[in-house]
Amino acid sequence: MPFSVKEIADRTGGEVRGDGRVLLTGIASLSEAGPGQISFFADPRFKGLLKTTQASAILIAEPSAEFEGSQILVRHPALAYARVAALFAPPPREVGVSGRAFISESAVLGDKASIYPLAYIGEQAVLGDGVIVFPGVFIGDRVRIGNNTVLYPNVTVMNDCVIGAEVIIHAGTVIGSDGFGFVRDGSVNVKIPQLGTVQIDDQVEIGANNCIDRAALGKTWIKRGVKTDNLVQIAHNVVIGEDTLLVAQAALGGSVSVGNQVVIGGQAAIRDHLRVEDLAMIGSQSGVAKSLGKGEIVSGSPAIPHRLWLKTSALIPQLPNLLARIRRLEKRLDELEP
């Protein structure tokens, strides 16, 4: 569906400079955009592309004489880009309910639910309006899924888990697998039955191949607006606060509690039973071994304050020279001693 420059400006709270009637049918980068497409400019490194881009319009913070097409002035071009891209993104295809899916007689499907072939929906599962379930998805007994949630191929949702509305779960993710709970009896590991569940609130997006373990008792809880990258591990009884971000290969130990708007970098690991307060930031490959306060920023393994880690890491390449200097000084001191 095409949109005029004026329509896009209205949707992004922008101001039009140039012809607002130009119709746009897609969005692309400055280097790849062609006529009929819109692009955005947010990084001064790409200023030279404003002269050469074939885009018909751009999203930009300040007017530019370098670009001859229509300009939409917005406060935050990257954010405006995200909203405009959503207008042109094709929605998942609705297919109705396939006769080649297995749907238990006691399951309840909402209006306009789309169930692709080879999906499985268990006993007493309840799916809301507009839910889309792709091929190979397993939905266990008594699972509840809110309106307009999308489960991409080969997602597994084990028994009794609860998923909210407008959730996106990417391919291969497993929700509600057993938490890693064992007790030693001499040399034998005795399994602790995992009797809890998983609750995922509204507007969460879970990346591909995540593992979100069910609680030993109670629930593992992913709150509203959380976004996870691919290959994230969330252990049993973890609670993750609203609008938190977890980057690829992050791992959270059992019973970790994470506040709101926390950012956890790629390959970071948090030890079990710790608390990470609101607005904290954890750098990539950090090993967090103690709880973090509100707004605290850490890096390294074991994790230390981020600025200290930057200073420390900068010293590492200098260590051989520093060691050589110390040895020379020690030798001179030895020579000076009577």
- Give the residue numbers annotated as catalytic, written as ranges: 236
- The whole-angstrom separation of Cα 201 and Cα 167 is 8
Nearest to 238 by CA among 267, 271, 206, 268: 271
What angle, rounded to 10 degrees, do the helices at 5-12 and 77-88 form?
A: 120
- The whole-angstrom separation of Cα 222 and Cα 200 is 5
Separation of CA 111 from chain center = 29
Contact present, 109 and 128 (Cβ < 8 Å) = no
b/e burial code for range 151-183 (CB count within 10 A of at least 16 → b): bbbbbbbbbbbbbbbbbbbbbbbbbbeebbbee
Contact present, 32 and 49 (Cβ < 8 Å) = no
- The whole-angstrom separation of Cα 63 and Cα 58 is 10
Name the token pair of 323: 């060691």
* Distant-in-sequence, close-in-space partners of 55: CB < 8 Å, separation ≥ 6: 28, 30, 33, 34, 37, 38, 39, 69
Handedness of CA 310, 312, 313, 315 (dihedral sign): positive
